[in-house]
Structure 1
Protein backbone atom coordinates (compact mmCIF):
# COMPACT_ATOMS: atom_id res chain seq x y z
CA UNK A 1 0.00 0.00 0.00
CA UNK A 2 1.53 3.34 -1.05
CA UNK A 3 1.19 6.61 0.87
CA UNK A 4 -1.74 7.74 -1.29
CA UNK A 5 -3.66 4.53 -0.55
CA UNK A 6 -2.71 4.73 3.14
CA UNK A 7 -4.00 8.30 3.26
CA UNK A 8 -7.33 7.27 1.72
CA UNK A 9 -7.67 4.50 4.35
CA UNK A 10 -6.88 6.98 7.15
CA UNK A 11 -9.41 9.43 5.72
CA UNK A 12 -12.12 6.74 5.66
CA UNK A 13 -11.37 6.06 9.34
CA UNK A 14 -11.75 9.78 10.13
CA UNK A 15 -8.03 10.28 10.87
CA UNK A 16 -7.85 13.49 8.87
CA UNK A 17 -4.58 14.83 10.28
CA UNK A 18 -2.72 11.60 9.50
CA UNK A 19 -4.35 11.49 6.05
CA UNK A 20 -3.32 15.10 5.35
CA UNK A 21 0.28 14.37 6.33
CA UNK A 22 0.41 11.32 4.03
CA UNK A 23 -1.22 13.15 1.10
CA UNK A 24 1.25 15.98 1.57
CA UNK A 25 4.19 13.58 1.48
CA UNK A 26 2.77 11.84 -1.61
CA UNK A 27 2.38 15.18 -3.42
CA UNK A 28 5.96 16.20 -2.49
CA UNK A 29 7.23 12.89 -3.86
CA UNK A 30 4.93 12.89 -6.94
CA UNK A 31 4.32 16.58 -7.78
CA UNK A 32 3.13 15.78 -11.32
CA UNK A 33 0.47 13.25 -10.23
CA UNK A 34 -3.01 14.89 -10.31
CA UNK A 35 -4.53 12.10 -8.18
CA UNK A 36 -2.69 13.28 -5.07
CA UNK A 37 -4.12 16.78 -5.46
CA UNK A 38 -7.64 15.44 -6.08
CA UNK A 39 -7.53 13.26 -2.97
CA UNK A 40 -6.16 16.10 -0.84
CA UNK A 41 -8.93 18.32 -2.26
CA UNK A 42 -11.53 15.74 -1.19
CA UNK A 43 -10.02 15.68 2.30
CA UNK A 44 -10.15 19.48 2.53
CA UNK A 45 -13.82 19.34 1.44
CA UNK A 46 -14.49 16.91 4.33
CA UNK A 47 -13.08 19.37 6.85
CA UNK A 48 -14.83 22.31 5.17
CA UNK A 49 -11.72 24.12 3.95
CA UNK A 50 -13.36 24.96 0.65
CA UNK A 51 -11.00 27.66 -0.73
CA UNK A 52 -7.98 25.36 -0.22
CA UNK A 53 -9.88 22.40 -1.70
CA UNK A 54 -10.67 24.48 -4.80
CA UNK A 55 -6.98 25.28 -5.28
CA UNK A 56 -6.08 21.57 -5.12
CA UNK A 57 -8.74 20.55 -7.65
CA UNK A 58 -7.63 23.35 -9.98
CA UNK A 59 -3.98 22.24 -9.64
CA UNK A 60 -5.03 18.70 -10.63
CA UNK A 61 -6.80 20.07 -13.72
CA UNK A 62 -3.74 22.18 -14.60
CA UNK A 63 -1.70 18.93 -14.57
CA UNK A 64 -4.35 16.92 -16.44
CA UNK A 65 -7.24 18.75 -18.08
CA UNK A 66 -9.04 15.40 -18.51
CA UNK A 67 -9.02 14.60 -14.77
CA UNK A 68 -12.74 13.82 -14.49
CA UNK A 69 -12.74 13.36 -10.70
CA UNK A 70 -11.21 16.83 -10.24
CA UNK A 71 -14.20 18.34 -12.04
CA UNK A 72 -16.48 16.19 -9.88
CA UNK A 73 -14.73 17.57 -6.79
CA UNK A 74 -15.21 21.13 -8.02
CA UNK A 75 -18.87 20.35 -8.73
CA UNK A 76 -19.37 19.21 -5.13
CA UNK A 77 -17.57 22.30 -3.87
CA UNK A 78 -19.77 24.69 -5.85
CA UNK A 79 -22.87 22.70 -4.81
CA UNK A 80 -21.88 23.16 -1.14
CA UNK A 81 -21.61 26.90 -1.80
CA UNK A 82 -25.01 26.94 -3.60
CA UNK A 83 -23.32 28.13 -6.82
CA UNK A 84 -25.46 25.77 -8.84
CA UNK A 85 -24.62 26.97 -12.36
CA UNK A 86 -20.91 26.31 -11.74
CA UNK A 87 -21.70 22.98 -10.04
CA UNK A 88 -23.75 21.90 -13.06
CA UNK A 89 -20.96 22.88 -15.47
CA UNK A 90 -18.37 20.83 -13.56
CA UNK A 91 -20.55 17.74 -13.09
CA UNK A 92 -21.36 17.77 -16.81
CA UNK A 93 -17.66 18.06 -17.64
CA UNK A 94 -16.87 15.08 -15.39
CA UNK A 95 -19.51 12.99 -17.21
CA UNK A 96 -18.25 14.13 -20.64
CA UNK A 97 -14.78 12.96 -19.60
CA UNK A 98 -16.13 9.50 -18.84
CA UNK A 99 -16.89 9.48 -15.11
CA UNK A 100 -19.60 6.82 -15.14
CA UNK A 101 -20.60 6.63 -11.47
CA UNK A 102 -23.98 6.97 -9.78
CA UNK A 103 -22.77 9.85 -7.56
CA UNK A 104 -21.93 12.26 -10.37
CA UNK A 105 -25.28 11.67 -12.13
CA UNK A 106 -27.09 12.01 -8.80
CA UNK A 107 -25.34 15.27 -7.94
CA UNK A 108 -26.02 16.71 -11.40
CA UNK A 109 -29.68 15.75 -11.00
CA UNK A 110 -29.83 17.38 -7.54
CA UNK A 111 -28.18 20.52 -8.93
CA UNK A 112 -30.79 20.79 -11.68
CA UNK A 113 -33.53 20.27 -9.07
CA UNK A 114 -32.06 23.16 -7.06
CA UNK A 115 -32.25 25.27 -10.22
CA UNK A 116 -35.90 24.12 -10.59
CA UNK A 117 -35.08 22.42 -13.90
CA UNK A 118 -36.97 19.33 -12.82
CA UNK A 119 -37.48 17.73 -16.23
CA UNK A 120 -33.83 18.22 -17.13
CA UNK A 121 -32.90 16.47 -13.86
CA UNK A 122 -34.88 13.32 -14.75
CA UNK A 123 -32.47 11.51 -17.12
CA UNK A 124 -29.52 12.07 -14.76
CA UNK A 125 -31.40 10.83 -11.69
CA UNK A 126 -32.70 7.85 -13.67
CA UNK A 127 -29.13 7.02 -14.75
CA UNK A 128 -28.00 7.23 -11.12
CA UNK A 129 -30.66 4.65 -10.12
CA UNK A 130 -29.46 2.37 -12.94
CA UNK A 131 -25.82 2.60 -11.84
CA UNK A 132 -26.64 2.00 -8.15
CA UNK A 133 -29.78 -0.06 -7.78
CA UNK A 134 -29.56 -0.41 -3.99
CA UNK A 135 -29.66 3.22 -2.87
CA UNK A 136 -33.09 4.27 -1.56
CA UNK A 137 -32.21 7.97 -1.71
CA UNK A 138 -31.33 7.94 -5.41
CA UNK A 139 -34.64 6.25 -6.17
CA UNK A 140 -36.55 8.67 -3.94
CA UNK A 141 -35.01 11.74 -5.63
CA UNK A 142 -35.91 10.31 -9.04
CA UNK A 143 -39.51 9.88 -7.86
CA UNK A 144 -39.49 13.41 -6.48
CA UNK A 145 -38.24 14.85 -9.77
CA UNK A 146 -41.04 12.97 -11.58
CA UNK A 147 -43.61 14.47 -9.19
CA UNK A 148 -42.06 17.94 -9.54
CA UNK A 149 -42.30 17.56 -13.33
CA UNK A 150 -46.05 16.78 -13.02
CA UNK A 151 -45.50 13.11 -13.89
CA UNK A 152 -47.56 12.12 -10.85
CA UNK A 153 -48.75 8.77 -12.25
CA UNK A 154 -45.14 7.77 -13.01
CA UNK A 155 -43.89 8.98 -9.61
CA UNK A 156 -46.30 6.83 -7.57
CA UNK A 157 -44.76 3.39 -8.31
CA UNK A 158 -41.28 4.82 -7.72
CA UNK A 159 -42.23 5.99 -4.21
CA UNK A 160 -43.87 2.61 -3.56
CA UNK A 161 -40.65 0.89 -4.62
CA UNK A 162 -38.75 3.08 -2.12
CA UNK A 163 -41.12 1.85 0.63
CA UNK A 164 -40.66 -1.76 -0.49
CA UNK A 165 -36.97 -1.29 0.26
CA UNK A 166 -37.37 0.95 3.31
CA UNK A 167 -40.82 0.97 4.92
CA UNK A 168 -39.73 3.80 7.26
CA UNK A 169 -38.88 6.33 4.53
CA UNK A 170 -40.98 9.22 5.86
CA UNK A 171 -40.61 11.44 2.76
CA UNK A 172 -41.82 8.63 0.48
CA UNK A 173 -44.89 8.22 2.73
CA UNK A 174 -45.49 11.97 2.64
CA UNK A 175 -45.29 12.14 -1.16
CA UNK A 176 -47.61 9.15 -1.55
CA UNK A 177 -50.03 11.00 0.74
CA UNK A 178 -49.87 14.04 -1.55
CA UNK A 179 -50.48 11.80 -4.58
CA UNK A 180 -53.46 10.16 -2.84
CA UNK A 181 -54.92 13.63 -2.20
CA UNK A 182 -54.35 14.45 -5.86
CA UNK A 183 -56.32 11.29 -6.75
CA UNK A 184 -59.04 12.25 -4.23
CA UNK A 185 -58.25 9.42 -1.80
CA UNK A 186 -58.14 11.32 1.53
CA UNK A 187 -58.29 8.28 3.84
CA UNK A 188 -55.33 6.63 2.16
CA UNK A 189 -53.52 10.00 2.16
CA UNK A 190 -54.12 10.35 5.91
CA UNK A 191 -52.60 6.94 6.53
CA UNK A 192 -49.43 7.90 4.65
CA UNK A 193 -49.15 11.21 6.51
CA UNK A 194 -49.58 9.35 9.83
CA UNK A 195 -46.87 6.87 8.90
CA UNK A 196 -44.53 9.70 7.88
CA UNK A 197 -45.10 11.26 11.32
CA UNK A 198 -44.65 7.92 13.06
CA UNK A 199 -41.16 7.58 11.56
CA UNK A 200 -40.34 11.30 11.69
CA UNK A 201 -42.44 13.12 14.33
CA UNK A 202 -41.11 16.57 13.30
CA UNK A 203 -42.17 16.15 9.64
CA UNK A 204 -43.89 19.54 9.28
CA UNK A 205 -45.28 18.91 5.79
CA UNK A 206 -46.82 15.59 6.84
CA UNK A 207 -48.36 17.25 9.91
CA UNK A 208 -49.88 19.94 7.68
CA UNK A 209 -51.10 17.31 5.23
CA UNK A 210 -52.77 15.32 8.02
CA UNK A 211 -54.42 18.47 9.35
CA UNK A 212 -55.75 19.29 5.88
CA UNK A 213 -57.14 15.75 5.48
CA UNK A 214 -58.74 15.89 8.94
CA UNK A 215 -60.57 19.04 7.89
CA UNK A 216 -61.65 17.34 4.66
CA UNK A 217 -63.01 14.15 6.19
CA UNK A 218 -64.02 15.51 9.59
CA UNK A 219 -61.73 13.35 11.72
CA UNK A 220 -61.12 14.36 15.30
CA UNK A 221 -57.76 16.05 15.54
CA UNK A 222 -55.25 13.95 17.38
Structure 2
Protein backbone atom coordinates (compact mmCIF):
# COMPACT_ATOMS: atom_id res chain seq x y z
CA UNK A 1 0.00 0.00 0.00
CA UNK A 2 1.43 3.38 -0.99
CA UNK A 3 1.51 6.28 1.41
CA UNK A 4 -1.29 8.13 -0.37
CA UNK A 5 -3.42 4.99 -0.39
CA UNK A 6 -2.84 4.75 3.35
CA UNK A 7 -4.09 8.34 3.73
CA UNK A 8 -7.33 7.49 1.95
CA UNK A 9 -7.65 4.39 4.12
CA UNK A 10 -7.30 6.56 7.22
CA UNK A 11 -10.13 8.77 5.91
CA UNK A 12 -12.37 5.74 5.44
CA UNK A 13 -11.60 4.66 9.01
CA UNK A 14 -12.38 8.12 10.36
CA UNK A 15 -8.78 8.72 11.43
CA UNK A 16 -8.76 12.28 10.15
CA UNK A 17 -5.64 13.56 11.91
CA UNK A 18 -3.59 10.65 10.59
CA UNK A 19 -4.99 11.22 7.10
CA UNK A 20 -4.12 14.92 7.26
CA UNK A 21 -0.55 14.10 8.26
CA UNK A 22 -0.14 11.66 5.38
CA UNK A 23 -1.47 14.11 2.82
CA UNK A 24 0.72 16.88 4.24
CA UNK A 25 3.80 14.66 3.97
CA UNK A 26 2.93 13.73 0.39
CA UNK A 27 2.48 17.36 -0.64
CA UNK A 28 5.86 18.23 0.88
CA UNK A 29 7.50 15.36 -1.02
CA UNK A 30 5.66 15.95 -4.31
CA UNK A 31 4.44 19.58 -4.37
CA UNK A 32 3.69 19.45 -8.12
CA UNK A 33 1.33 16.46 -7.93
CA UNK A 34 -2.31 17.66 -7.97
CA UNK A 35 -3.65 14.35 -6.61
CA UNK A 36 -2.36 15.06 -3.12
CA UNK A 37 -4.06 18.47 -3.05
CA UNK A 38 -7.33 16.91 -4.21
CA UNK A 39 -7.19 14.25 -1.51
CA UNK A 40 -6.46 16.85 1.16
CA UNK A 41 -9.32 18.96 -0.24
CA UNK A 42 -11.63 15.96 0.08
CA UNK A 43 -10.58 15.54 3.70
CA UNK A 44 -11.20 19.22 4.47
CA UNK A 45 -14.57 19.07 2.68
CA UNK A 46 -15.50 16.09 4.84
CA UNK A 47 -14.58 18.20 7.88
CA UNK A 48 -16.71 21.09 6.51
CA UNK A 49 -13.63 23.33 6.37
CA UNK A 50 -14.85 24.79 3.09
CA UNK A 51 -12.48 27.73 2.80
CA UNK A 52 -9.34 25.62 3.10
CA UNK A 53 -10.80 22.84 0.96
CA UNK A 54 -11.44 25.33 -1.81
CA UNK A 55 -7.82 26.52 -1.66
CA UNK A 56 -6.52 22.98 -2.06
CA UNK A 57 -8.83 22.25 -4.99
CA UNK A 58 -7.82 25.55 -6.62
CA UNK A 59 -4.16 24.65 -6.22
CA UNK A 60 -4.83 21.30 -7.90
CA UNK A 61 -6.44 23.05 -10.89
CA UNK A 62 -3.46 25.41 -11.13
CA UNK A 63 -1.15 22.39 -11.35
CA UNK A 64 -3.44 20.54 -13.77
CA UNK A 65 -6.24 22.40 -15.53
CA UNK A 66 -7.68 19.02 -16.57
CA UNK A 67 -8.05 17.69 -13.01
CA UNK A 68 -11.77 16.87 -13.25
CA UNK A 69 -12.07 15.63 -9.67
CA UNK A 70 -10.69 18.96 -8.38
CA UNK A 71 -13.49 20.82 -10.16
CA UNK A 72 -15.98 18.32 -8.78
CA UNK A 73 -14.64 19.03 -5.29
CA UNK A 74 -14.98 22.77 -5.87
CA UNK A 75 -18.58 22.26 -6.93
CA UNK A 76 -19.27 20.35 -3.73
CA UNK A 77 -17.69 23.13 -1.66
CA UNK A 78 -20.12 25.65 -3.11
CA UNK A 79 -23.09 23.26 -3.02
CA UNK A 80 -22.68 22.39 0.65
CA UNK A 81 -22.68 26.10 1.45
CA UNK A 82 -25.88 26.46 -0.61
CA UNK A 83 -24.11 28.61 -3.19
CA UNK A 84 -25.93 26.79 -5.96
CA UNK A 85 -25.21 29.27 -8.73
CA UNK A 86 -21.47 29.13 -7.98
CA UNK A 87 -21.55 25.32 -7.89
CA UNK A 88 -22.81 24.94 -11.46
CA UNK A 89 -19.68 25.99 -13.34
CA UNK A 90 -17.21 23.63 -11.60
CA UNK A 91 -19.65 20.70 -11.90
CA UNK A 92 -20.05 21.47 -15.62
CA UNK A 93 -16.28 21.68 -15.97
CA UNK A 94 -15.80 18.29 -14.29
CA UNK A 95 -18.27 16.72 -16.73
CA UNK A 96 -16.69 18.44 -19.74
CA UNK A 97 -13.30 17.04 -18.68
CA UNK A 98 -14.67 13.51 -18.85
CA UNK A 99 -15.77 12.68 -15.31
CA UNK A 100 -18.34 10.23 -16.66
CA UNK A 101 -19.81 9.08 -13.36
CA UNK A 102 -23.24 9.55 -11.85
CA UNK A 103 -22.07 11.91 -9.08
CA UNK A 104 -21.21 15.06 -11.08
CA UNK A 105 -24.36 14.73 -13.20
CA UNK A 106 -26.43 14.20 -10.06
CA UNK A 107 -24.90 17.14 -8.22
CA UNK A 108 -25.27 19.46 -11.21
CA UNK A 109 -28.89 18.37 -11.53
CA UNK A 110 -29.41 19.06 -7.83
CA UNK A 111 -28.02 22.60 -8.14
CA UNK A 112 -30.68 23.34 -10.76
CA UNK A 113 -33.35 21.53 -8.73
CA UNK A 114 -32.58 23.51 -5.56
CA UNK A 115 -32.47 26.67 -7.67
CA UNK A 116 -35.99 25.78 -8.84
CA UNK A 117 -34.80 25.49 -12.45
CA UNK A 118 -36.58 22.18 -12.82
CA UNK A 119 -36.40 21.80 -16.61
CA UNK A 120 -32.65 22.45 -16.58
CA UNK A 121 -32.16 19.82 -13.88
CA UNK A 122 -33.81 17.06 -15.92
CA UNK A 123 -31.10 16.05 -18.43
CA UNK A 124 -28.46 15.80 -15.69
CA UNK A 125 -30.64 13.85 -13.28
CA UNK A 126 -31.74 11.60 -16.13
CA UNK A 127 -28.11 10.89 -17.00
CA UNK A 128 -27.31 10.22 -13.35
CA UNK A 129 -30.24 7.81 -13.16
CA UNK A 130 -28.90 5.97 -16.23
CA UNK A 131 -25.39 5.75 -14.77
CA UNK A 132 -26.58 4.70 -11.31
CA UNK A 133 -29.86 2.80 -11.76
CA UNK A 134 -29.72 1.20 -8.30
CA UNK A 135 -29.17 4.45 -6.37
CA UNK A 136 -32.38 5.23 -4.49
CA UNK A 137 -31.61 8.91 -3.91
CA UNK A 138 -30.70 9.51 -7.55
CA UNK A 139 -33.90 7.86 -8.77
CA UNK A 140 -36.05 9.72 -6.22
CA UNK A 141 -34.65 13.16 -7.09
CA UNK A 142 -35.10 12.41 -10.79
CA UNK A 143 -38.71 11.54 -10.01
CA UNK A 144 -39.16 14.87 -8.22
CA UNK A 145 -37.79 16.78 -11.21
CA UNK A 146 -40.18 14.91 -13.51
CA UNK A 147 -43.09 15.72 -11.21
CA UNK A 148 -42.09 19.39 -11.00
CA UNK A 149 -42.15 19.60 -14.80
CA UNK A 150 -45.59 17.95 -14.92
CA UNK A 151 -44.33 14.75 -16.55
CA UNK A 152 -46.51 12.80 -14.18
CA UNK A 153 -46.55 9.43 -15.98
CA UNK A 154 -42.76 9.33 -16.05
CA UNK A 155 -42.61 10.57 -12.46
CA UNK A 156 -45.01 7.83 -11.37
CA UNK A 157 -42.90 5.19 -13.09
CA UNK A 158 -39.74 6.55 -11.44
CA UNK A 159 -41.26 6.66 -7.94
CA UNK A 160 -42.43 3.07 -8.42
CA UNK A 161 -38.86 2.21 -9.34
CA UNK A 162 -37.75 3.83 -6.07
CA UNK A 163 -40.17 1.59 -4.18
CA UNK A 164 -38.83 -1.45 -6.03
CA UNK A 165 -35.36 -0.52 -4.78
CA UNK A 166 -36.47 0.48 -1.28
CA UNK A 167 -39.89 -0.79 -0.25
CA UNK A 168 -40.26 1.51 2.75
CA UNK A 169 -39.66 4.89 1.13
CA UNK A 170 -42.25 7.22 2.66
CA UNK A 171 -41.54 10.16 0.34
CA UNK A 172 -42.00 8.01 -2.76
CA UNK A 173 -45.40 6.90 -1.44
CA UNK A 174 -46.32 10.51 -0.64
CA UNK A 175 -45.47 11.70 -4.15
CA UNK A 176 -47.35 8.79 -5.71
CA UNK A 177 -50.30 9.87 -3.57
CA UNK A 178 -50.08 13.41 -4.95
CA UNK A 179 -49.94 12.09 -8.51
CA UNK A 180 -52.96 9.87 -7.81
CA UNK A 181 -54.83 12.98 -6.62
CA UNK A 182 -54.03 14.73 -9.92
CA UNK A 183 -55.41 11.66 -11.67
CA UNK A 184 -58.51 11.91 -9.45
CA UNK A 185 -57.85 8.44 -8.09
CA UNK A 186 -58.82 9.21 -4.50
CA UNK A 187 -58.62 5.65 -3.20
CA UNK A 188 -55.12 5.13 -4.55
CA UNK A 189 -53.99 8.50 -3.18
CA UNK A 190 -55.32 7.62 0.27
CA UNK A 191 -53.59 4.24 0.11
CA UNK A 192 -50.22 5.86 -0.65
CA UNK A 193 -50.64 8.49 2.07
CA UNK A 194 -51.49 5.74 4.56
CA UNK A 195 -48.44 3.74 3.52
CA UNK A 196 -46.23 6.82 3.89
CA UNK A 197 -47.59 7.36 7.42
CA UNK A 198 -47.16 3.70 8.30
CA UNK A 199 -43.48 3.98 7.38
CA UNK A 200 -43.04 7.47 8.88
CA UNK A 201 -45.85 8.37 11.32
CA UNK A 202 -44.65 11.98 11.59
CA UNK A 203 -44.80 12.58 7.81
CA UNK A 204 -46.67 15.91 7.94
CA UNK A 205 -47.34 16.22 4.20
CA UNK A 206 -48.82 12.73 3.97
CA UNK A 207 -50.89 13.40 7.10
CA UNK A 208 -52.18 16.63 5.58
CA UNK A 209 -52.98 14.88 2.30
CA UNK A 210 -54.87 12.15 4.14
CA UNK A 211 -56.90 14.70 6.11
CA UNK A 212 -57.80 16.58 2.94
CA UNK A 213 -59.07 13.38 1.32
CA UNK A 214 -61.06 12.41 4.41
CA UNK A 215 -62.64 15.88 4.45
CA UNK A 216 -63.53 15.53 0.74
CA UNK A 217 -65.13 12.15 1.36
CA UNK A 218 -67.15 13.51 4.27
CA UNK A 219 -68.51 16.33 2.12
CA UNK A 220 -69.70 13.98 -0.61
TM-score tier (shorter)? over 0.9
1:161 has 2:161 as partner: yes
Count of equivalent residues: 219
Q: Which residue of structure 2 aligns with residue 37 of structure 1? A: 37
Q: Which residue of structure 2 aligns with residue 143 of structure 1? A: 143
Deviation readout 1:111-141 (Å, 9 max, x if unpaired): 0101111111111111111111211111111
The 8 Å contact of residues 162 and 172 in structure 1, kept in 2 or not, is answered as: yes
Matches within 5 A, 1:50-129: 50-129=50-129
Deviation readout 1:26-71 (Å, 9 max, x if unpaired): 1111100001001100100111111110110011011111111010
The 8 Å contact of residues 156 and 179 in structure 1, kept in 2 or not, is answered as: yes
Unaligned runs of 5+ in 2: none
SS in 1 for 2:214: helix
The 8 Å contact of residues 41 and 53 in structure 1, kept in 2 or not, is answered as: yes
How far has the Cα of 1:101 moved from its partner? Answer: 0.7
The 8 Å contact of residues 72 and 94 in structure 1, kept in 2 or not, is answered as: yes
1:172 has 2:168 as partner: no
The 8 Å contact of residues 169 and 196 in structure 1, kept in 2 or not, is answered as: yes
1:48 has 2:48 as partner: yes
Q: Which residue of structure 1 aligns with residue 214 of structure 2? A: 214
Q: Which residue of structure 1 aligns with residue 26 of structure 2? A: 26
Unaligned runs of 5+ in 1: none
Separation in structure 2 between the aligned mates of residue 201 and residue 24 of structure 1, nearest angstrom: 48
Separation in structure 1 between the aligned mates of residue 40 and residue 164 of structure 2, nearest angstrom: 39
How far has the Cα of 1:145 moved from its partner? Answer: 0.3
What TM-score, normalized to structure 2?
A: 0.97
The 8 Å contact of residues 190 and 210 in structure 1, kept in 2 or not, is answered as: yes
The 8 Å contact of residues 163 and 172 in structure 1, kept in 2 or not, is answered as: yes
Q: Which residue of structure 1 aligns with residue 190 of structure 2? A: 190
How far has the Cα of 1:218 moved from its partner? Answer: 2.5
> How large is the RMSD of aligned CA atoms in angstroms?
1.1
